[in-house]
Structure 1
Amino acid sequence: MHPDLGRPRVRRRWWLAIAAAALVMLPLGLYACSLATQGAANQAEERLPGQKKIDVPLPQAAARIDVTIPANATDATWAYIAGFQDDIVLLSFRMPEAELEAYLTANHIRLPLEPGTQNSGLAGFAQYGVGPDPESVTGGKHTQREPNGYIMIGVSIGPPENGLVRVWIDGYN
């Protein structure tokens, strides 16, 4: 007669316990790895185009896209976003409506302005703290500047308020 007959097999229980532990630990390990990978991916996204805001003075930001800021501009806000290939400059300011046409002409911005800002394609201003997006304003106008080398510019003008208009400039270089 075999000496183990009639006794439970202890060895089989150990394998079942190890297999059960592995089945529980495997998903937990995969979840932990995915969290670590996600953190690395988020850090990498900050280095993609349009993801890293750099503090630069307003004149330097405007010069990067070859525009000037009127001397009498008020409520000026801006963002300079360094990208992988292109840098983006977002400018927003108020200026007297009477001086708008001369300003646009001096900066080689195409006239006449087209009605509406909803289709201007300019966005991201609110995301970078440069005021409301032009597309959120009704009754404004928009245009583009003739290409100047590698610099592309879009311009939106808000409706007049108390003799002033808000100007949004979105430039890529």
Structure 2
Amino acid sequence: MRELVMEGLVSVLQAQQTTAMMYRSSPFGLVERFHRTWKDLLSTFVAEVQNDLDWCVNCAVFAYYGAQHSGTGYNPNELMMCASCVPPSEFLRESEVSHVGRIPPLEQMVLASAVAKAALTRDQIHKSRYDNRRVRHTTTYAVRDLFWVLRQPRGRGITKPAYKWLGLVIIEEDAGFDN
């Protein structure tokens, strides 16, 4: 009876499965590793003509680690890593979800750019705290300020502090990067 149910399930899902059970426990209570089970599970999610394999593999991995084992009563993630899988629906909040499914490429680039700018800002704050621990900051610069610029020494003899003045420079605009 069980084999007929599994055959019906396999035909409905259009999977190519040869075993009667998706995974089984060994006599010691361990979980079968990724080999035949992984191929069967992947064939459930991915057809041969699909080109979005990278998106479907994540679903298959989550399904493998999240499904409860009939022999032990635990899922493979709990047995191997002593932690259960958290479904993605628990991470999502209505205030933060803007798309259902995949994000369009242009919006994904805009989102990545905003995240990169935020990371750069955090990194600048961290660097300024780390690099300037023992330095007093008494000078602040603003747009339209004048200041003298030194040319950095190059080549031989750079150990001697002999800087040449380049001249006055006007700050025209804030570049947004605090070096």
TM-score (norm 2): 0.20
The higher-RCO structure (CA 8 Å, 6+ apart) is: 1
Q: Which structure features the higher share of strand residues?
A: 1
TM-score (norm 1): 0.20
